Amino acid sequence: MTEPAEAVGPLSDVRILDASNLIAGPLATMLLADLGAEVVKIEHPAAGDSLRNHGGQKDGQGLWWKELGRGKLCVTLDLGSLAGQDIFRQLASRADVVVENFRPGTMARWGIDFAALRAVNPSLVMAHVTGFGQSGPLSALPGFGTIAESMSGFAHRNGPADGPPTLPPFGLADTVTGITTALAIMTALWERRSSGTGQEIDVSIIEPLLTVLEPQIIEHDQLDRVAQRVGNRSTVNAPRNMYLSRDGRWLAVSTSTQSTADRLLDLIGRPDVLSEPWFSSAAERARHADELDEIVGGWVGALDHQDVLAACQGAGVPISTVYDVRDILADPQYAALGAIATVQDPDLGPLRMVSTPFRLSRTPATIRWAGPRLGAHNEIVYGRLGLTEDELEKLRDQGVI
């Protein structure tokens, strides 16, 4: 196999060794690969990344893997074997970053923890992504996004006021952790520019959602407040909810500023509400959410959704219909932003997937290829270490690669 085209992008001089599995770690390295980093993805020779069999499949190919594995050089390596550990140390000696998500202590047991790798590469940055972090009473336990969504307070806040705590139907905690991990890695690499030395990064899946969940900690600390479920409403302003149009489409409306609330009620034709003393306060409007929802819901329900959209957009009121994936793919705003990329894949042909979620004017991100086949780049990556074809064949026979 020939070497892939030389990487371009702002991180084209960064080498990452990705020994993580499933979502959070692989999402972080996917984002960095989009930006030009060379990511060598380590997978077990027999099982591969669990993501290959996670979610939708087509012709035996995992579609989620095709997205999160994109732009990576994929090699197989049994880290539980002595030969595999030796090869991993060689790869790490040439890397800038190692990302792993095994339970704390696993890498040390294999002789490839930060202390061992730093001995061969003092400038190495090593990111640990685990359920509960590297210390504390729960650190040795397995942890998934569902647990984080429960422990962080998200499930407690999510759902209707009169219903049970509600988990998200997708990997919310894992994806937020992946983005957080990418930021942490870039911060450590930036610091290394001045110090010349690497460091460890400890990311737990239970923490990033704490930042997403607004000021729940400080409000409880200072006001003894425990936030409760309020459905689609907001506790700090109103009207803010989902409203059903005459033609059966749900629309989301938000009035986070006083001027927006004024424009909406003026559009609806309710000067009597605008003149109420309580209407000039966001907190007071939130206390009158029932009344405001009845007014806005009645107005929306009497019109088709396109008429509601046109009226609100003309008045400067933030609004959107509730999209499903078909709406996203047809939306001209997403198209103008380039939010959906098309990637050519040798297994499935053209694939549409989410692109990098921001744009750089001078050094844009590039999706070089979709998630490759298991061990697709063994010869390339291990050839750089000087391993011959005969040596690689022997390692295959031994189950090391």
The torsion angle over the Cα atoms of residues 183, 186, 188 and 194, rounded to 10 degrees, is: -140
Q: Rounded to the nearest 5°, which phi and psi values hold at 204?
A: -105, 145
Q: Rounded to an integer, what distance in angstroms lies between the CA atom of residue 158 and that of residue 160?
A: 7
Instruction: Let me know the angle formed at the C-alpha of 343 by 339 and 344, rounded to the nearest 5 degrees.
Output: 165
Tell how far CA 203 is from the center of its chain. Answer: 14
HEC string for 185-226: HHHHHHHHHHHCCCCEEEEECCCHHHHHCCCHHHHHHHHCCC
Angle in degrees, 0-180, between the axes of helices 305-315 and 258-268, rounded to the nearest 10: 130
Q: Read off the tokens for 46.
A: 């027999």
Q: Rounded to an integer, what distance in angstroms lies between the CA atom of residue 244 and that of residue 232?
A: 13
Q: Rounded to an integer, what distance in angstroms lies between the CA atom of residue 119 and that of residue 151?
A: 37
Selected catalytic residue, list 18, 34, 78, 174: 174
Catalytic, 174? Answer yes
HEC string for 127-152: EEEECCCCCCCCCCCCCCHHHHHHHC
Q: Read off the tokens for 125.
A: 């940055």
Query: Residue 40 pairs with which residues in a beta bridge?
Result: 17, 73
Residues belonging to the active site: 174
